[in-house]
Structure 1
Amino acid sequence: MSPNLALNQLVAERQSEGESIVHLGFGEARLPVFEPLVQRLVEGSRRNAYGPVAGGLAVRTAVAGYFGRRRLPTDPDQVVVAPGSKPLLMALALTAPGDLLLPRPAWNTYAPQARLAGKRAFGVPIPAECGGVPDPVALRETIAAARTLGHDPRIVVLTLPDNPTGTLAPPPLVREICAIAEEEDLLIVSDEIYRDIVHDPATPLLSPAEVAPRRTVVTTGLSKSLALGGWRIGAARFPAGPWGTRLREGVVSVGSEVWSTLAGPMQAVAEYAFAEPAELRARLAAGARLHGAVARAVHGIMVSAGADCRPPTGAFYVYPDFEPIREDLARHGVKDSPTLFQHLLDAYGIVVLAGHHLGDSERALRFKAATSMLYGATAVEQQQALDAADPTALPHVRVVLDRLEESFARLRA
């Protein structure tokens, strides 16, 4: 089972047995459903026909408009919708030829999907300033080494903003990766499911589809920005032109045998959400503010405890490195990623996703912490966090942050 899903199941079982656990191991946006989305779901509940595999014209037009407002002019025939972006990524892995090049660390699904598709996945270290993209020098070296060994790296995956580091690659770095893709004839898969969770609206986000439009597929969805993980709504934008058309046809072919179509009621939701009326844009902005505030608070706790950690700028994660206090941790029996995970769970009831599950070195003292799990145990508490000018000052949020601060401070004891 995917390690994050297995971990979430483990936490649910232990909490049902009465254990007090701070769950930072699962990338779910713990927010109540925006009420107009519920209304669209109810209104769409009578849509019980299968419909086109790629999605109906209305929903594809809405998605095309979404991309168009982000400097990516899009025709509805470039769009495919599906039950989540994960099936779309799997269909791409089955359709596009060649092995994958992944940032290391990366979301824990990319590499297993590559293996399921009969491909190799090559992890490339990320640069010092951010995650979600490979270091350009290391990318060139990895491509050359893989080809020397007879492998066929032809797809590079980017995540903007990034899961697991919670950072956003700056435009110059995106341009550099796109230049390498042009030189090496790589397909770029840009996972932009966190695009609408950039903490500071003034922060520039450059999609590789703006720089290398002929060779970039963009995926997105509503699981993160609108907290609709369980509703499973994803979308992909394919390049214009013959190559993009062939890729899209391949993905639709896979979809016809795997998921048939995005459920009619979910298409009704997506038509509304991707059209982005004013009230929904306000909700997105409130969510981004909340995610940023809590992520920065957790980042501060990790740094105070002695970790190196890139400041979060997007999504809802931090990815601390506790190498600076390795000697302190050794006194607790912590020597690597698995033992750090186990110590945090056993000693403090804190659950994280160990870095080796994300392609990182098992010896490293790194993990992903999903800060979006800290907004409250009930819909009322989560709404309070969403509405608050300073969510970190709310008693139900503050008590968990204090527990984290006290627990991580003890790592040096």
Structure 2
Amino acid sequence: MRRTDPEGHGPVRFGPPLPADGLPVLPELSAVLAAAAPLGGSEPVGGGPALLEAACAYWARRGLSAGPERVVAAPGAPSLLLALTAALGGDVLVPRPCAAWWAPYARLLGRPVFHVGTPAECGGVPDPYALLETVRRVRDEGGDPRLLVLSVADDPTATVAPPEAVHEAVEAAVGEGLHVVSDETWRDTVHAPHDTVLIGPAEMLPERVTVVTDLAGALLPPGWPAAVARFPEGEIADDLHARVLDVLTALGARVAAPVAAAAGYALTEPEPVTTRVAATVRLHARVAAAAHAAVVPSGALARPPRAGRHLYVDLGPLRTALGAHGVGDAQDLEEFLTARLGLPAPGGHRFGDDLGALRVRLSTGSLLAGTDTELEECLSSPSPVELPYTQRALITVKSVFDDLRDDAQRWEPPR
């Protein structure tokens, strides 16, 4: 079976970062980091006791019990996924599309990566029948699939997979002997938490799922790298935990002591952190909804964003109009929209989509700007999309997509 390695995908070193919130750092977090700055060192490999206890309490509040012996901390989720991939061995399966940082670490280790289609209603989890067929074909051709990476609250599609879709995918994976890694970086950024049912794979089949959470999703600035992983119970998981620690030791992947202090504080979820997280989620939900409303009338396709700080747009219906501008694939589209919008618009090929598919991820954080005072105003405003800078940025987005719609109408053959 053909592996989905990238070819001709633009600058080799370009990997779109996690969508940032575009906001000033929470003062209480800055104070914790500053107070710990004189420490100057780093945590033990896997994290110190205080950080691990905070991570256990964080998961317990979400219905997942864990002791410190089943938790590992690292400087960012990429190092955790690299360690897990190295420890588990074998081939890796991921949804199409998927987070831009998942596949490179498998390829770095020389592991084949296979993308699997997703259900119509969401991204982040594979269609169970497509997953079973992919596993069968890989094994028939001598492959050794062992790991499935998925996400319920997804980057790049900004969808939240319904519990039944998650359960079917996880059952199919476990039935085929795969270990599941659930990337829950965006779990705490669901736009309508009271109206959205989010159940992670570890709540369904806890003995075969490792949960990875990058704190840059909701709790820390992306420049303060820290992530935690929760391992299942049992001898197999104990062995996996030990091998992951071995890999992290070989990499020297330790969390800096000041960052660990901030991470531990954030994971305990004191009132300043929970208030800021809630306000940030509300802000980006409103901006994402406005961005969605700006692009869809052009004829572009996008699922309504339900989580995160991004929007995934399919401009396939505008292919003819884009072709008139020399846009023939996702790399061309990335360059075209980045120039037109004045904002980063990484193409879908960065996320494992076909190069020929005209898809991009737009980040809502890019639509925010101004002084710290102005950004704080965005957080507290009941109508942040009407504030001057955000309104101007959204008008630009709408104008670019409306121009493409007009171009498409001019190119339509007469009836």
Same fold (TM over 0.5): yes
SS class of match (1:369)? strand
**Aligned length in residues:** 397
Work out whether residues 100 and 114 of structure 1, in 8 Å CA contact, stay in contact via their aligned partners in 2.
yes
Structure 2 residue 326 is matched with structure 1 residue 317: no
2:125 equivalent to 1:117: no
CA distance in 1, matches of 2:109, 2:214: 22
1:7-406 superposed matches below 5 A: 27-202=19-194, 203-406=196-399
Q: Give how far 1:227 is off.
A: 4.6
Which range moved further: 285-294 or 223-232?
A: 223-232
For residue 345 of structure 1, report the CA deviation from its aligned partner: 3.5
CA distance in 1: counterparts of 2:285 and 2:84, whole angstroms? 31
Amino acid at match of 2:55: V
- Quick check: 2:219–2:267 contact (8 Å CA) kept in 1? no
Separation in 2 of the partners of 1:379 and 1:227?
Answer: 17
1:30 touches 1:227 (CA, 8 Å); kept in 2? no
Shift of 1:350: 4.4
Normalized against structure 1, the TM-score is what?
Answer: 0.92
Equivalent-residue separation in structure 1 for 2:346 and 2:13 (angstroms): 10
Normalising by structure 2, we get a TM-score of: 0.91
What is the letter of the counterpart of residue 6 of structure 1? F
CA contact (8 A) 2:183 2:211 kept: yes
**CA distances 1:330-380 after superposition (whole Å, capped 9, x unpaired):** 232322212222322444544310111211111111111111221214323
Change (3 A) 1:57 1:276: same
Equivalent-residue separation in structure 1 for 2:215 and 2:10 (angstroms): 20
Q: 1:286 to 1:169 in 2, by over 3 A?
A: same
CA distance in structure 2 between the aligned counterparts of 1:88 and 1:120, rounded to whole angstroms: 18
* Deviation at residue 82 of structure 1 after TM alignment: 1.1
SS in structure 2 of the partner of residue 309 of structure 1? coil
- Whether the 8 Å CA contact 1:34–1:226 is kept in 2: the answer is no
- In 2 relative to 1, CA 226–383 (structure 1 residues): closer, same or farther, beyond 3 Å? farther
2:159/2:305 contact within 8 Å kept: yes
Shift of 1:61: 0.5
Q: Distance in 2 between matches of 1:382 and 1:135?
A: 40
More displaced, 65-74 or 376-385?
376-385
- Change in 2 beyond 3 A, CA 1:347/1:75: closer
AA matched with 2:295: M
Rounded to whole Å, the distance in 2 between the matches of 1:7 and 1:117 is 17
Shift of 1:278: 2.2
Quote the offset at 1:232 in angstroms. 0.6
Kindly state the Cα deviation for residue 83 of structure 1 after the two structures are TM-superposed. Answer: 1.0
**SS where residue 260 of structure 2 aligns?**
helix
Q: Deviations over 1:63-98 (max 9, x none)?
A: 000001111011111111111111111111111122
| Alpha carbons of structure 1 residues 361 and 383: separation in structure 2 relative to 1, 3 Å | same
Give the structure 1 partner of residue 14 of structure 2. Answer: 6
Q: Is the Cα contact below 8 Å between 1:26 and 1:373 reproduced in 2? A: no
Q: Which amino acid aligns with 2:152?
A: L
Quick check: 2:78–2:105 contact (8 Å CA) kept in 1?
no
* Residues 290 and 276 of structure 1, relative CA distance in 2, 3 Å threshold: same
Q: For structure 1, list consecutive stretches of 5 or more residues without a partner in the other structure.
A: 9-24
Q: CA, structure 1 residues 347+282, in 2 after alignment: closer, same or farther (shift >3 Å)?
A: closer
Change (3 A) 1:4 1:72: farther
Change in Cα spacing, 1:123 to 1:286, as seen in structure 2 (3 Å) is: same
Report the CA distance shift for 1:90/1:36 in structure 2 as closer, same or farther (over 3 A).
same
Aligned partners of 2:217, 2:193: CA distance in 1, in Å? 17
Distance (whole Å) between structure 2 residues aligned to residue 70 and residue 53 of structure 1: 25
Matched letter for residue 91 of structure 2? D
Contact 1:3–1:108 (Cα < 8 Å) also in 2: no
Give the Cα–Cα distance (whole angstroms) in 1 for the partners of residues 219 and 12 of structure 2. 20
Q: Secondary structure at the match of 1:405?
A: helix
Give unpaired runs (5+ residues) of structure 2: 1-8, 408-415
Query: RMSD over aligned Cα, in angstroms?
Result: 1.9
What's the offset of the Cα at 1:51? 4.4
Distance, in Å, in 2 between the alignment partners of 1:391 and 1:227 is 22
Relative contact order: is structure 1 or structure 2 higher (C-alpha 8 Å, sep ≥ 6)? Answer: 1
* Equivalent-residue separation in structure 2 for 1:132 and 1:265 (angstroms): 33
Q: Does structure 1 retain, via aligned residues, the 8 Å contact 2:124–2:155?
A: yes
Alpha-carbon distance change, 271 to 2 in structure 1, aligned in 2, over 3 angstroms? farther
Q: Give the letter aligned to residue 191 of structure 1.
A: D
1:15 match: none
